[in-house]
A and B are shown apart, each in its own frame.
Chain A
Amino acid sequence: MANVIFYILAVIALTSALMVVTRKNAVTSAVYLIVTMCAIAGLFVQLGAVFIAALQIIIYAGAIMVLFLFVIMLLNLRKDEFGFDTRVFQRLFAGLLGIVLLVQLIMVVSRLPVVAGQPVDTEMGRVAPLATKFFTQYLYPFEIISVLLLAAIIGAVVIAKKKMGK
């Protein structure tokens, strides 16, 4: 049963991800991205990471995607500006390389000794153990991320703010 659900979710996630990159309309792409995010959230639930699944939906599928859609609509792109690369050869070449990398990665993953039936540690997925990890073992990266976000905000402001003076 669990396997069936996994494969369904995986297929949804992958096909909609493929749709994201192939659609001509930006808004359609964004909607497909939401679908992907939701499917991934489903996978998290299967792994017992309920909290992460909730975050996935709230932040990615919710907040970030709404922002995306806003931006796309504000820019009001015409087709020729947000068009596709018409250079067929380059696309074929890139696609070919992508397939090569895919084959290579499949080779890698297939070599991994599969340990079947490992029980999922559902305890870890809850908020409390996660928070404990964040504030003990992962405190340092956690704090760095806070500075990182600040740096990103500063950067965005610097780039976006109107020129003064001159």
Chain B
Amino acid sequence: MEMIVKLIPVFPLFGFLIIGLTNKKMPKQVVNIIACGSVFLSFVAGTIAFFSLLGMPSNSRFITGFWFDWIIAGSFSSSVSFMFDPLAAVMVLVVSGVSFIIHVYSIGYMAHDGGYWRYFSFLNLFVFSMLLLVLADNVLLLFVGWEGVGLCSYLLIGFWFHKKSASDAGKKAFIVNRIGDFGFLLGIMLLFWTLGSTNIKEISHLAPEMLVAGGGLVTAITLLFLVGAVGKSAQIPLYVWLPDAMEGPTPVSALIHAATMVTAGVYMIARLSALYVLAPTSMAIVAIVGGFTALYAATIGLAQNDIKRVLAYSTISQIGYMFLACGVGAFSAGIFHLTTHAFFKALLFMGAGSVIHALSGEQDMRYMGGLKNRLPFTYKAFLIATLSISGIPLLAGFFSKDEILWKAYSSGHGHPLLWILGLITAILTAFYMFRLLYLTFHGKSNVTAEAEKHLHESPPVMLIPLYILAFLSIFGGYIGLPHALGGGAWFENFLMPVIAESAHVIETGSHHAPSLEYILMLASVVAVLLGIVVAYNFYIKNPEKPKQLAQRFAGCYRLIFNKYYIDEVYDYLIVKPLYILSLIFWKIFDVRVIDGFVNRLAKFFGSMSERFRILQTGFVRNYALVFFIGVIILVGYLCYIFR
């Protein structure tokens, strides 16, 4: 079994190497087989390992896959080895499964793209990095996967690099992610310094013994890790890269949003839950960041016109839910939502991709409408996903979202205000998702004549993946059916041994009257229906109403439409000053102050003859001057300390 675990990430790596090295020499069919096949093999290996895990006693479900020692330097050691436990198992299945479906879908979507080979090799590398991330048994290796995911996202977002916006978006994603990585790396170092280990299992054992619960140290470590998670999972304040990540091909968006990348932050927090439960302050911050991001991104989603952009903000909002869950100590609920979200968000993106594909690349919802009958298959799949994400009872999204809302209210770390945040977000989610649905598929058609000519339903290779995901979006939630609805909370129990659920969560859950859970559930259902009804009112019955409202609350609308001007603020506060600082240093210090200290370099330069310039650019004496100043400062320092 160890061998199988070891091999899980290796398949996509080979896929990447083979496709990347042979490049265009290989026929497309072979590329398809290698790219999809390698991910499928990972999925199969993951499934086999998963079942063998089920066969073990619930407290010792653990398989290691040891490759080799990586760094051993004194007390510091780190190895390339994998741990396959329930948490990793869930992640491996979700990542490889959804990625496989997206790979298949990509065959249709990218069929006519010139960079077909490059695309699939990067895609495989992406899956490899993500699998490495979720399987790593120490934080350093996890960081390797973490960086790999960042690199791949950069390469794939900027895939259509001839578009400036695409390569800019790639850069933005990478740089914002590096800010998060900075926190993560410092966190790793601090963790190693305090516990003397980077192995996750050892950390989980050592942390409660060696760290003071609620102490400054563990809070610092967890907050540093949170900085990393916030960057990768696109939460406030580092979410700005995700909406721009839409510049990549749509399946890439699906991959980033659903299966890989953004979920990494949630996974990491759950993985290090043993540390987080020791730091209540950090937990509270995680919950608040998550709750506010959920609400905040949902409000932005209300006013966007680009179909993929709405979905992007919805992802940020949904990830916010997961953070909220982790923050209140319900890590398994967070992972549960991660799983169901992977299904319906992948479906939404691929559905949107199918629409965009059908409309020859049109992404603006104002030029859609009435597509219900033209794209019947896509519509049905999309409808299921919309219902699921909105939280209509008995669909996957309902169970996971409701679990989070319930825990946000009832857990020891929870608070009714957090629940209210979640509830408002639920209303908004239902509203903007149905707005999306109505604008795209209902009403009268606004499709341009040009796009009308080529309008066609997508090929089966793109539709079949949609239906697999639609199936999962409906039934995927039943693995975690809560006790209150007669289920066994199987998902939670499965993850329990590896996740340090805060004792509070379980205890206080029983303090509340059982009826309360039903009341809250009912409240959220009503909230969702409210959102849908309002959306129906606005976009089907009274299509003029949104415009009137937008005019009446023009300021408010503009604020939301422009995403609260956060990009502009960042640009103004961070990017510009850094750039200007660099320019100042270069132009003024290096060029003017130093190079041409007093000698008006430019004039001087132009007027002197070639030979003269070689000997007397005036540089050397200035260089010596700087050197000399350095000497004086250093000797002066010594004079000072020995005065």
Question: Which A residues are within 8 Å of any B CB, using their own CB?
Answer: 85, 87, 89-90, 93-94, 97, 100-101, 104-105, 107-108, 111
Contacts and interface: CB of A to CB of B under 8 A. Distances in A.
Given A89-B598, A97-B625, A111-B642, 7 more contacts: A97-B629, A100-B632, A101-B628, A101-B631, A101-B632, A104-B636, A105-B635
A87 B628 contact: no
Contacts of A105: 635
B599 interface: yes
Interface in B568-606: 597-599
Closest 10 CB pairs of A and B: A104-B635, A90-B598, A89-B598, A87-B598, A104-B639, A107-B639, A100-B632, A97-B628, A101-B632, A87-B599
A94 B625 contact: yes
B67 to A, nearest CB: 50
B619 to A, nearest CB: 13
6 contacts: A85-B621, A87-B598, A90-B598, A101-B632, A104-B632, A108-B639
A101 B629 CA distance: 9
Contacts of B635: 101, 104-105, 108
B642 to A, nearest CB: 7
A97 B633 CA distance: 10
Nearest to A105: B635
A108 to B, nearest CB: 8
Interface residues of B, number: 13
A95 to B, nearest CB: 11
A115 B202 CA distance: 65
Contacts of B599: 87, 90
Contacts of B629: 97
B632 A97 contact: yes
B613 to A, nearest CB: 13
A90 B632 contact: no
Contacts of A87: 598-599
Nearest to A111: B642
Nearest to B628: A97
A105 B636 CA distance: 10
Contacts of A101: 628, 631-632, 635
B614 to A, nearest CB: 13
A90 to B, nearest CB: 5
Contacts of A104: 632, 635-636, 639
A100 B631 CA distance: 11
A163 to B, nearest CB: 17
B607 to A, nearest CB: 13
Nearest to A88: B598
Interface-centre pick from B597, B598, B625 (highest chain A CB count, 10 A): B598
Contacts of B628: 94, 97, 101
B514 to A, nearest CB: 82
Contacts of A111: 642
Contacts of A93: 625
A85 B642 CA distance: 37
Interface in B612-642: 621, 625, 628-629, 631-632, 635-636, 639, 642
Contacts of B625: 90, 93-94, 97
A101 B621 CA distance: 17
Contacts of A107: 639
A108 B621 CA distance: 27
A54 B561 CA distance: 89
Contacts of B639: 104, 107-108
Nearest to B611: A81
A89 B632 CA distance: 19
Nearest to A107: B639
